């Protein structure tokens, strides 16, 4: 791709933290595959968004306890079709992972 970037931001206030990450991969051509007009197959661009919220305290169970809720690929973006639209994707560029919600708890004693 001509353009590929990642942007992340984190905001903290007291025990609270919010994080955001977005990744963008520009469109690419597959010259070995031709569309119906005889042009190189165009694999569309892809952008994903990740978000989490976190709370950290030293008042529970351990010296430091952290609770995090988050989502990866928040908008449930599918990888763009490659290989002439056969349903395949470019594994070296894109990941076929849908929206992923998670929760984690960590303690340090």
62-74 pLDDT, tens digit per residue, is 678 999 999 999 9
Task: Give CA–CA dist 18/52, Å, rounded.
Answer: 6
Percent of the chain whose pLDDT exceeds 70? 94
Q: Is 82 exposed, middle or buried (0-12, 13-18, 19+ CB in 10 A)?
A: buried
pLDDT in tens, 27-58: 999 888 887 888 888 899 999 999 999 999 98
DSSP lists the bridge partners of residue 105 as 67
For position 26, what pLDDT does the model report? 96
Between 66 and 85, whose confidence is greater? 66
Dump the DSSP string for 12-45.
Answer: EETTEEEEEEEEEE--EEEEEEE-TTSPEEEEPP
Burial call 46-59: b when 16+ CB within 10 Å, e when fewer: bebebebebeeeee
């Amino acid at each position: 791709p001509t353009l590929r970037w990642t942007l992340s931001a984190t905001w903290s206030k007291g025990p609270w933290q919010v994080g955001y990450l977005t990744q963008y991969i520009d469109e690419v051509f597959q010259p070995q595959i031709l569309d119906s007009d005889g042009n190189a197959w165009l694999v569309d661009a892809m952008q994903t968004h990740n978000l989490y919220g976190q709370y950290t305290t030293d008042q529970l169970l351990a010296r430091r306890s952290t609770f995090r809720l988050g989502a990866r690929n928040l908008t449930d973006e599918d990888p763009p079709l490659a290989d002439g639209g056969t349903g395949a994707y470019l594994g070296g560029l894109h990941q076929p992972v849908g929206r992923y919600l998670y929760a984690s708890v960590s303690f340090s004693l």
